[in-house]
Amino acid sequence: MDTSPVYLNQLGLVCSLGHSHDEVLQALSSDNRESLSATTDYSSKTVYVGQVAEPLASLDDQPAHIQSRNNQLLKMAYAQVEAEFNKLSQDIPADRIGVVLGSSTSGIAEGEKAIKYWVENEQLPADFDYRRQEISAPAITLAQWSGAKGPCYTISTACSSGAKALASARRLIQSGLCDVVLAGGVDSLAGLTVNGFDALDSVSAGRCNPFSANRDGINIGEGCGLFVVSREPSKVCLSGAGESSDAHHISAPHPDGAGAVAAMQKALTNAALQPADIDYINLHGTATEQNDRMESRAVNQVFGSDTPCSSTKGYTGHTLGAAGAIEAGFAWLLLQYQPNQLPLNLSDMIADDELSPLMLVTQQNSQTDKLKHIQSNSFAFGGNNISLILSEAQS
């Protein structure tokens, strides 16, 4: 396998922080938590969610099976990268252009509406099409929009899906199967996920508090992070990826973070870097009792307590299958534009003495002079773990 650099040439990003690079980057330097809003749209009780603001992309001219909120988010992200994708792929055969996406929900929100209609009317809506909610739908749809005819699939490994899509895209290029890949993650809010996590006692009663003694669960979010991935040099490369599967428990992480440690160490080895080379870590940081305890131990074991780190889920909520791609997107923005402030660890910052020491980013220590290497963690159900390293490309 050719291990020469693979670049992230362009980013399309949509989340509760905004619909553009400028909006998102500006929001990441703020301590405003209004992007997590209270609603009863997805549950019988009030929950806080990271919902993308209207208006969404219109799909009225698309076939019924494409018309889902998930695909609306995907369409918005694709519009941001389409010009760069067309430029890089114009002389490349369509069968050497791939699509790899991560998703947990696909079009299940539309499936929920159809079932509700069926319960009330004893028949499905006239426009119901099961293909909307198939997990393959986002990748197939994007391949149709882009004209890609190479490998095309959706990865659904819960919260690691979007990051795994990027690692998979990198392998497709390094193995010689593809020259350009559209890769990322997309997930939309739905009652299934909000109530499912609530059934696990994992949904916060308010806005989430990553790594706080007062943390009591997650806020579900939605969004899309989409990259154009190729060998064409650009400012940011995907320099490392490390994956592990500790299979400790169907939903709980390994308490000592064994799989998380393995993923982070593999990513560093893959990128030929040492822990001291990493300038900032985007933590998985779900604000659940077990994840934050596990991750603090794992990160402290690999990096000690001197590497700046934060969970950005206090801004966006947990976007599930899209999280790994969206948070890699935040790393891309930091490397691409080199702002002088790191994303804050948004919470009430009440210290938990049971957590291993970390250098969590606050307003007091958020300033940075230069970013070269950023590591981003995603840890999923079943011990399905991945850590990515994005780097400023060498000139």
- What are the catalytic residues? 159, 284, 318
Q: Show the CA angle centred on residue 228, arms to residues 225 and 233, nearest 5°.
A: 130
Q: How far is CA 4 from CA 217, 237, 240, 391, 393, in A?
A: 41, 10, 11, 14, 12
Q: What SS3 class is residue 38?
A: strand
The alpha carbon dihedral of 164, 166, 172, 175 has a sign of negative
Per DSSP, the residues of 142-197 read HHHHHT--S-EEEE--GGGHHHHHHHHHHHHHHTTS-SEEEEEEEE---HHHHHHH
Question: How far is residue 247's CA from residue 252's CA, in Å, rounded to a whole number?
Answer: 10
Q: How far is CA 237 from CA 77, 227, 263, 268, in A?
A: 20, 11, 19, 14
